[in-house]
Structure 1
């Protein structure tokens, strides 16, 4: 991956695609990679055939129904996303329209898998729902704990099957936060993308929605 290149982050839910979101490569390092998306970037959720989204659909029906038609969504903030190699989380920086950093967001998820196919680059993971929100003063709180607990009651439909691993990842993040350690030490809080990078396309590339293998589908 090279700086400025567009990559497509895919969230997999068992053998189905839940989301595709384009970002640009900011840094590709030995210990991970850093991605950027400006405010207004468009991504795609894959909802039910009748238009219902995940929050409006019982989980067994959601997981058992083929979902092929993408629904667009946009972010209203700048997003910098750090994906450390082999980690059970990514760390996101949120920026206001004027470039001011205002929050970290620890997304607990399966380790990222990078792949190339049909002329584009993808990154696969599985979003584990439970997250940690961190303010600039490093105060923190769990997010979506009730949702996470509720979905665990459906083991045949949920893409998380190791609750302890997810919570352990969250505790690992919290230890870094409380220590003021990287990436919660101020690194990249003043980040600015290269102004010469091309704009991110709003067209979903043909074939990026193929799921040939659930590379990151479970928390095992």
Structure 2
């Protein structure tokens, strides 16, 4: 079980290589989902090849076959992230630094795998690139359709292999948004973290890159 305030390392995997690492604070284990929080100015890590080229600068087959190094950056908005255990997406509430909610973001991805190793706790998923952005009035739009379509033409190197499954997940999110149903019904738009929670790490801990088997 996760305790409120515990650090959970969210990792996006790409063919068993890591493409993103973000530390979150556990808000609650809801049984059928995990709820996480990261404040504005939180540390996160994207990846590059050792020569400094990022994913957008490298042909996908080369990227998928190459070792990578973590590069730190900061996230300029707060993120409340809901990860249902049996859905092909997570939903993120975005908050300005003053705590004002300004958007939902539906990340289409594989169902989460929660893991523990020593004193580390993590949540792994595979990000499928195609996403749905939902505004406060529940207007929505697809994001990264062209990128998703292009990468699907390289199945030997891509980490998404079922276009229909990904689009079904997006359509499920869109239907919920249009109907104003949870998670788009106003729930958690006024979320505030517990000020007693410890700060999140700003350095990667030993074991952050251990791939679970």
Assess same fold via TM > 0.5: yes
Q: What secondary structure does 2:99 align onto?
A: coil
**Cα deviation, residue 120, structure 1:** 0.8
**Cα deviation, residue 118, structure 1:** 2.2
Q: State how far apart, in whole Å, the 2-side matches of 1:148 and 1:19 are.
A: 18
| Counterpart for residue 5 of structure 2 | 4
| Structure-1-length-normalised TM-score | 0.95
Structure 1, residues 192-214: CA drift from partner, whole Å, max 9, x if none?
0000001101010111112244x
Indicate yes or no: 2:44 matched with 1:43.
yes
| Counterpart for residue 103 of structure 2 | 103
Q: State how far apart, in whole Å, the 2-side matches of 1:173 and 1:32 are.
A: 16
The list of structure 1 runs, each at least 4 consecutive aligned residues, that deviate by more than 4 angstroms after superposition, is none
Segments of structure 2 that go 5 or more residues without pairing to the other structure are none
- Between the two structures, name the one with larger relative contact order (CA 8 Å, sep ≥ 6): 1
Q: State how far apart, in whole Å, the 2-side matches of 1:129 and 1:75 are.
A: 18
Q: State how far apart, in whole Å, the 1-side matches of 2:96 and 2:170 are.
A: 25
| Contact 2:23 2:38 survives alignment (8 Å) | yes
Q: What secondary structure does 2:10 align onto?
A: strand
**Cα deviation, residue 46, structure 1:** 2.3
| Counterpart for residue 121 of structure 2 | 121
Indicate yes or no: 2:71 matched with 1:53.
no
Q: State how far apart, in whole Å, the 1-side matches of 2:185 and 2:88 are.
A: 20
| Counterpart for residue 207 of structure 2 | 207
Alignment of 1:156-167 (within 5 A): 156-167=156-167
Structure 1, residues 133-177: CA drift from partner, whole Å, max 9, x if none?
000000000000000000001000000000000000000000100
User: What value does the CA root-mean-square deviation take over the aligned residues?
Assistant: 0.8
Alignment of 1:73-84 (within 5 A): 73-84=73-84
Indicate yes or no: 2:182 matched with 1:182.
yes
| Counterpart for residue 218 of structure 1 | none
Indicate yes or no: 2:90 matched with 1:90.
yes
| Structure-2-length-normalised TM-score | 0.98
| Counterpart for residue 22 of structure 1 | 23
Q: State how far apart, in whole Å, the 1-side matches of 2:211 and 2:114 are.
A: 14
